[in-house]
């Protein structure tokens, strides 16, 4: 099957299972997930969606998220958008209702689905605090930049390797320009996305943020110091663009319509620009410097301990939605130092998940359903896409999720220890993890040393996650419940008058 046909087939399989075109309010995607805003959540058939071959899992947050994996999601999303538009155009009446959801197999399945939906809704409501919603908005600013960060980061790594080897000396300056061009102007893109996210005119946000990287600011003095182009970085750009949005909205309210097209853009750039030059650039510059200094101090003095804590707590942070606060920190470190030393440590959480999943595979030899899920999700987990293993294996089982975090802690402690010893391991971009992070690695030592330390951390995470899960990840009750053949499970369910296929369980007790 041609790639286009395969992607369209995947989109066509997904659409009716989320309620059809009439049920879609918004469509977006990130690195791994198709994110849908739905009018009616009850029209979604979760189990049928999970059975679609290309679907690795589903996650419910502020949007309904279908995990498709890197690369696939970027190809399926345009096809899905086209199908939605075609479905709307073909509707026979403007108020046509979305097709009803498929009937459940039995009353007990309905009860389980309702219980699961209630738990997900409670978790979603718990995460919908103003602070966490603000963090999601910040993430929405930076996530669209990740593909460029990855591409430029890989080119930077390739260029560094060629320079160190003394190869292709006539080409390396061009590669350096390709790798550095985006980072030199990243503040402009941050400003554009910030204004768009906060409801302003994107190009005005970009225009104000462009002041930060303009070489002419070197001739300006603020707080008794000469400004430097790029001072304040992405944090300054974010603040400048938010300020521009508020100035623009104020102007829209008070400036007469006849003068709006002339006065509003002028006042927005002028007022926001003056505050940016004579205030934000200096303040944001001090904050950015403090972030870099603190990250260096943390890993230089508390390396192993800090790595242990960061690696162990990253998955719970993801579950709480707090990991989004790290995105501007990563970006600031990359802008300052050329790489972020935090990402390789946090990536160890995925290694713990992989080790835990392998242990589950061996501990449940009779449960072919879970073993099949692990076999299909493990390659993605090795490449840093952890959602299928988290939501399909460790989290529903309960205790293996905790032992997976233990694996991540030991992997993070391993990498942190070498940072403390003076061997920094960093990533030139954010987004990838697991094995996919190897092309983006950089540090203060040779590439071989950096790669060896990161690989050692992965092995520590795999091994510890496996051992912790194998020996401590299952109680006797949990083993008795899950280490059964499908036939026995079906017989047990049939005896109670339930469905003939095993239902999806919520997290088991720890």
- Helix 186-197 vs helix 233-254: crossing angle, to nearest 10: 40
**Active site residue: 30, 152, 251, 405, which one?**
30
Of 388, 394, 322, the closest CA to residue 361 belongs to 394
Contact criterion met (CB below 8 Å) for 180 and 335 = no
Of 145, 161, 70, 458, the closest CA to residue 332 belongs to 145
Annotation marks residue 251 as catalytic: no
Helix (H) or strand (E) holding 79: helix 72-89
Taking the C-alpha atoms of residue 157 and residue 163, their distance in angstroms, rounded to an integer, is 10
Which of helix, strand or coil describes residue 30?
coil
- In three state form, how does the secondary structure of 35-52 look? EEEECCHHHCCHHHHHCC
Which of helix, strand or coil describes residue 380?
helix
- Please tell me the chain's helix, strand, coil percentages from 3-state DSSP, rounded to the nearest 5: 70, 5, 20
**In the numeric block, which tokens belong to residue 295?**
């990250």
Of 63, 6, 56, the closest CA to residue 32 belongs to 56
**In the numeric block, which tokens belong to residue 279?**
């205030």
- In three state form, how does the secondary structure of 102-162 look? CCCCCHHHHHHHHHHHHHHHHHHHHHCCHHHHHHHHHHHHHHHHHHHHHHHHHHHHHHHHH
- In three state form, how does the secondary structure of 252-289 look? HHHCCHHHHHHHHHHHHHHHHHHHHHHHHHHHHHHHHH
Contact criterion met (CB below 8 Å) for 396 and 504 = yes
Taking the C-alpha atoms of residue 194 and residue 203, their distance in angstroms, rounded to an integer, is 10
**In the numeric block, which tokens belong to residue 123?**
């978790």
**In the numeric block, which tokens belong to residue 228?**
């430097």
Give alpha helix (H) positions in 143-232: 146-165, 172-184, 186-197, 202-213
Taking the C-alpha atoms of residue 234 and residue 281, their distance in angstroms, rounded to an integer, is 10
Enumerate the active-site residues. Answer: 30
């Amino acid at each position: 099957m041609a790639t286009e046909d395969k992607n369209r087939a995947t989109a066509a399989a997904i659409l009716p299972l989320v309620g059809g075109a009439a049920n879609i309010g918004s469509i977006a995607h990130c690195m791994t997930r198709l994110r849908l805003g739905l009018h009616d959540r009850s029209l979604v058939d979760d189990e049928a969606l999970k059975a679609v071959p290309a679907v690795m899992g589903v996650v419910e947050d502020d949007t309904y998220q279908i995990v498709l994996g890197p690369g696939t999601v970027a190809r399926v999303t345009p096809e899905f958008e086209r199908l939605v538009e075609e479905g709307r155009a073909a509707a026979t009446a403007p108020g046509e209702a979305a097709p009803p959801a498929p009937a459940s197999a039995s009353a007990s399945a309905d009860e389980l689905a309702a219980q699961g939906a209630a738990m997900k809704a409670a978790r979603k409501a718990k995460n919908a605090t103003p602070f966490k919603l603000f963090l999601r908005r910040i993430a929405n600013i930076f996530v669209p930049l990740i593909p460029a960060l990855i591409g430029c980061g890989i080119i930077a790594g390739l260029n560094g390797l060629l320079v160190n080897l003394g190869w292709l000396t006539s080409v390396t300056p061009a590669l350096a320009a390709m790798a550095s061009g985006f980072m030199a102007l990243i503040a402009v893109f941050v400003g554009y996305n910030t204004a768009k996210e906060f409801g302003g005119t994107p190009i005005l946000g970009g225009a104000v943020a462009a002041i930060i990287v303009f070489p002419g600011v070197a001739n300006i003095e603020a707080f008794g110091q000469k400004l430097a182009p790029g001072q304040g970085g992405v944090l300054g750009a974010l603040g400048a663009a938010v300020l521009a949005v508020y100035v623009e909205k104020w102007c829209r309210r008070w400036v007469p319509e006849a003068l709006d097209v002339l006065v509003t853009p002028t006042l927005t750039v002028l007022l926001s620009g003056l505050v940016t030059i004579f205030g934000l650039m200096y303040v944001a510059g001090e904050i950015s410097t403090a972030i870099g200094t603190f990250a260096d101090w943390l890993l230089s003095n508390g390396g192993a301990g800090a790595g242990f804590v960061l690696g162990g707590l990253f998955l719970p942070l993801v579950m709480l939605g707090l990991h989004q606060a790290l995105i501007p920190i990563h970006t600031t470190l990359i802008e300052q130092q050329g790489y972020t030393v935090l990402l390789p440590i946090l990536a160890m959480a995925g290694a713990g998940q992989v080790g835990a999943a392998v242990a589950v595979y061996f501990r449940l030899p009779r449960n072919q359903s879970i073993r099949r899920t692990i076999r299909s999700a493990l390659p993605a987990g090795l490449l840093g896409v952890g959602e299928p293993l988290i939501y399909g294996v460790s989290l529903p089982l309960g205790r293996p999720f905790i032992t997976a975090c233990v694996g991540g802690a030991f992997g993070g402690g391993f990498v942190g220890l070498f940072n403390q010893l003076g061997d920094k391991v960093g990533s030139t971009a954010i987004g990838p993890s697991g094995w996919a992070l190897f092309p983006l690695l950089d540090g203060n030592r040779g590439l071989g040393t950096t790669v060896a330390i990161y690989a050692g951390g992965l092995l520590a995470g795999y091994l510890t996650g496996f051992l912790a899960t194998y020996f401590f990840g299952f109680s006797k009750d949990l083993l008795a419940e899950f280490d059964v053949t499908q036939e026995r499970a079906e017989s047990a369910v049939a005896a109670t008058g339930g469905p003939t296929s095993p239902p999806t369980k919520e997290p088991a007790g720890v």
